[in-house]
A and B are shown apart, each in its own frame.
Chain A
């Protein structure tokens, strides 16, 4: 009789289990709601510091508190009894002052910032926001230790608060999915956490968020590189990677290494390629630095049409177009270029073949740099020069400025010179002039004094801010060919640049038909800023590559050395097309560089669509366009530390922390009253102890269920002694 009862109990409990198993939902999914529209602030390291954000290994938990007014912030700081909190902030109150107040209060465990650019009420674009320093790149510029140091004559990035360079021991995220943000505000914050109208806090349960953003590297780049390289573990892994990529360059005259290449016969025309923001993969970079990239590329295209004329003249100067990468991180690209030039390693020599004649610093006759160009002060562009060089070579600089102004006049670009005593703004040419060289150099930019770009190196440097977005009545399919105000202005700037470079090279005024193509500028702005899945980018790539073009704009962040940078490849191809020759009678198969001639690269491009067809008119382009390393000389090619250059302290030492695949996540959940938690724990422990006692009794009384002899046998065979 007794046995039957036990059986019944067993059976019924099994059936209850069956019942649950029928519609199994993982307990995890019942507890947590995952937030996927996010982008995190992560850790970067230089020779002395770590900057950016990290969480604890298993994430930071905080009670969600929505801060939309100053009062909300003060409530959290002064009253909020349920610390630690996780602040949910808006773009307008996510400013350095507030973030530091929160950080120093010790009451928060993380910050989330609403970043919904399509929603003007949830994300208002602030009047100014720049996470860069107010005096960017000062430490590695040319004025360190001179009268001009510390930006004391002009604070270039007056709105810069340096949030990017702060070390946060809690995570900061931007949230980019509207329905998730609304859920968090309505269903999480309003329902559970919002204080009563009299300011009294809500009781449990509270809605909390777990913010996980765990970084692997720590302390400084030397430490994390050493740890990456000295692995004793059987399962080697990375702690960090150096920042760096490739510079893009091309020369017009394509002088090879066996030909004469006199000193002071090369004009360098440079633009920067990268910028940054605090958040992963959010690098819109419209003014800084797409405007400069597009202007210089369009100028290269215009000049490319006259390259035979420039090549044909013996006395003409060569023009070296360079697009420098990693400049936002202490001039990685330009410092490497200078380093290579000092060692005859640029462009790279080949043994047993002809190659482009190395360019040394002595070869440079002029330096023309374009900076940001889109937000014009007084609707004009401004010419910046270096007051120190002026003491020695003012005649050359003055004549450059005069020519440039004349070219501006001719191209209907308002361009003026800034006060001559004003030092250069942060610019790549500083890496060259730092070597105590006297190169006549001009930097063309859109600001007379402080940056006109209020969003320098931030997530708000948007296409909509530079008059390059499209009116509402224009169909999205027509955007590609729609000439925006900015495109018109940049075309004029490119024409001016091309004519200026021609004039410097030929010492003669350019032909009237030397002008930049409005169409190219329009297309490039669309492709870089709106969507890379555009006809221009498809034309310049091979069929395989063009299939993989992303729908969203590529990030203008230099990235780590081991990852391919799409922007670099695209600029290399565009420059290749613009200054190269189309080769007749070549197919995609024989469009390859011959082994004995390394002067030119051969690029196969699938070309434009044939009329009324889906097939394309492919072409082989022979061009000097190529890439050179943009890795700081402080690092070796394999990502190790170059002892001498490292210790010199003259070179960028930035590295980016690695993180595990599951290291970044956000999840919402409810936390119950702590008393309830304790009660649950105690009940659990009581049940555990009771079950031990029960088992003990069952064991003792086993003979009631099982036949006596079986029970005896099993106890006698049990061994208690270790052997």
Chain B
């Protein structure tokens, strides 16, 4: 969708939908939101809905960062301990590397 052709009230609506959607354990919505509306929130000249869009974008950014931190931590812990966790780790895996303990 080309944001240049969208009316300001629709932009706000879209931004809010993405922000709220992110709470359904969909961090990618927050991530997309924070990038897609970054220009609208911080760079565009002032318009009426900009303050609200900005607050959604900032919250989406915070959410994304928390999620990334959580995922990176988990992946690190899992990869470091996969071999020693044995069966549990195998059951958590979709693809098990060949020839590795």
Contact = CB atoms under 8 A, between A and B. Distances in A.
A155 B47 CA distance: 92
B90 A57 contact: no
Contacts of B87: 226
B94 A233 contact: yes
B98 interface: yes
B2 A218 contact: no
A232 B99 contact: no
Interface stretch (A209-217, A343-351, A456-464, A481-489): A209-217
B69 interface: no
Nearest to B3: A721
A223 interface: yes
A571 B6 CA distance: 83
A215 B99 CA distance: 5
A223 B86 contact: yes
A230 B87 CA distance: 10
A372 interface: no
A227 B94 CA distance: 11
Contacts of A233: 94-95
A613 interface: no
Chain A interface category by residue count: 10 to 19
A94 interface: no
A218 B100 contact: yes
Nearest to B95: A233
Given A721-B2, A721-B4, A723-B2, A217 B99 contact: yes
B4 A239 contact: no
B90 A230 contact: yes
Nearest to A723: B1
B99 A226 contact: no
A227 B99 contact: no
A218 B99 contact: yes
B101 interface: yes
B9 to A, nearest CB: 20
Interface string A705-723: 0000000000000000101
A137 to B, nearest CB: 26
B95 to A, nearest CB: 6
Contact of A219 (B94, B95, B101): B101
B98 A214 contact: yes
A515 interface: no
B74 to A, nearest CB: 18
Nearest to A215: B99
Interface in B47-101: 83, 86-87, 90-91, 93-96, 98-101
Interface residues of B, number: 16
B5 to A, nearest CB: 9
A213 to B, nearest CB: 10
A87 to B, nearest CB: 22
A291 interface: no
A54 B2 contact: no
Contacts of A217: 99
B28 to A, nearest CB: 15
A214 B99 contact: yes
A304 to B, nearest CB: 49
Contacts of A721: 2, 4
A57 B94 CA distance: 19
Interface in A25-63: 54, 57
Contacts of A230: 90-91
B94 A216 contact: no
Nearest to B36: A722
Nearest to A657: B99
A215 B4 CA distance: 56
Contacts of A226: 87, 90
A440 B87 CA distance: 46
A230 B90 CA distance: 8
B98 A216 contact: yes
B32 to A, nearest CB: 11
A219 B98 CA distance: 11
A219 B85 CA distance: 13
Contacts of A54: 99
Contacts of A239: 96, 98
A216 B99 contact: yes
B101 A227 contact: no
Contacts of A227: 90, 96
Contacts of A723: 1-2
Contacts of A216: 98-99
B16 to A, nearest CB: 20
Contacts of A215: 98-99
Interface in A293-320: none
Contacts of B91: 230
Nearest to A220: B101
A57 B101 contact: no
A256 B19 CA distance: 80
Contacts of B1: 723
Nearest to A660: B98
A721 B95 CA distance: 37
Contacts of A657: 99
Nearest to B94: A232
A219 B84 CA distance: 11
Interface string B1-24: 110100000000000000000000
A504 B94 CA distance: 61
A530 to B, nearest CB: 38
Contacts of B96: 227, 239
Interface in A634-657: 657
B4 to A, nearest CB: 7
Contacts of B93: 232
A721 B100 CA distance: 45
A51 to B, nearest CB: 14
B81 to A, nearest CB: 15
A44 to B, nearest CB: 13
Interface in A185-234: 214-219, 223, 226-227, 230, 232-233
Contacts of B2: 721, 723
Nearest to A216: B98
Nearest to A214: B99
Nearest to A235: B95
A721 B3 CA distance: 9
B94, B95, B99 pick with most chain A CB within 10 angstroms: B99
Nearest to A57: B99
Given A219-B83, A233-B95, A723-B2, 12 more contacts: A215-B99, A216-B99, A219-B101, A223-B86, A223-B90, A227-B96, A230-B91, A232-B94, A239-B96, A657-B99, A721-B4, A723-B1
14 contacts: A57-B99, A214-B98, A215-B99, A217-B99, A219-B83, A223-B86, A223-B90, A227-B96, A230-B90, A232-B94, A239-B96, A721-B2, A721-B4, A723-B1
- The 6 A-B pairs of least Cβ separation, nearest first, read A219-B101, A216-B98, A218-B101, A721-B2, A215-B99, A723-B1
